[in-house]
Amino acid sequence: MKSKTLLAIARAARLKGYAPYSHFLVGAALLTEEGSVITGSNIENASLGLTVCAERLACWTAVHYGYRRFSKIAVIADCTPPPVPCGACRQVIWETAGNVEVIMGNLAGETTVMSLLDLLPEPFGGSAWADNPVAGNREEEEEDLWRLPVSFTPIGYVVNNFQNPKDIPDNYRELISQVIIDPELEEGLYRVDEEEKITVIAYLHLSRGFTLKDRRRGRGNKNYGIFACHSPHRPNAIAQSTGEIVAVDRNRLIVRGLDLINGTPVLDLKTVIN
């Protein structure tokens, strides 16, 4: 993944921050060697001392989700020059990720790139404890591992005139939407135009909460189990919407017949293979 993309993800994560005291929002995005991105934003506390920075939140979240190998971290804030990680974050990035590339950016588009050891030349490490017999000797309970949350990075988003679910008209099957794909993934659309239909797997970002039974479209609008109908109020707010491929223009896919609103994050695309 390009540093520019990682910085763009950090910029989006910044908006998830909680900074009612300083009003200084910071976003961070940590790239794993597998290509996953774990984000963080600064979370303040009225005690001030309990505030945590975006970089540390990203590091701790990544470790919690089982990631251990990283290649770079991006940090962004609205300041000139671009922000540098504080001392505490440098120490935590060192322990979590080692000597990774640190990409620092601001909203004006300026960036600075340094290695972690440039920022923290004499890092404190845990090598003195390497012989501790407890380390690396834990028995793990693995049968519940499937319960761990899964995280995805959207590949793109939907553009159309439907601003909220109520705006989707009954004749949506005739209407055009665009699916804009991250330019880095454009090659994945190679020969898509040879197919007729495509299924868009999307995240219903406005959906809140879920129910286990809901009304099913058709069949007299009766109640069905949530897994027997297409209600948006599901345990995982994932939708699939199939449309007709009209055209492909670089990273822009024109599709007729999607029932997804403007701005819906897209997780995957699959052509319909008969």
Instruction: List interacting residues with Zn ion (CB under 5 A).
Output: 53, 86, 89
State the nearest-atom distance from the C-beta of 53 to Zn ion, in Å: 3
List of residues 6+ apart from 225 with CB closer than 8 A:
212, 213
Whether residue 59 contacts residue 53, with contact meaning beta carbons closer than 8 Å, is answered with no
Using Cβ positions, the residue closest to Zn ion within the complex turns out to be 53
Q: Within 13 Å and on the Cβ side, how many CA atoms surround 243?
A: 27
55 is catalytic: yes
- In whole angstroms, what is the distance from residue 238 CA to residue 58 CA? 24
State the nearest-atom distance from the C-beta of 69 to Zn ion, in Å: 22
Closest to Zn ion by CB, 24 vs 152, is 24
State the nearest-atom distance from the C-beta of 89 to Zn ion, in Å: 3
Closest to Zn ion by CB, 86 vs 108, is 86
Catalytic residue among 34, 44, 55, 110: 55
Whether residue 70 contacts residue 34, with contact meaning beta carbons closer than 8 Å, is answered with no
State the nearest-atom distance from the C-beta of 201 to Zn ion, in Å: 36
Closest to Zn ion by CB, 86 vs 228, is 86
Residue 54: strand, helix, or coil: helix
- In whole angstroms, what is the distance from residue 54 CA to residue 15 CA? 11
- In whole angstroms, what is the distance from residue 97 CA to residue 75 CA? 15
Closest to Zn ion by CB, 89 vs 198, is 89
Q: For residue 212, which amino acid is it? A: L
Q: Which residues are catalytic?
A: 55
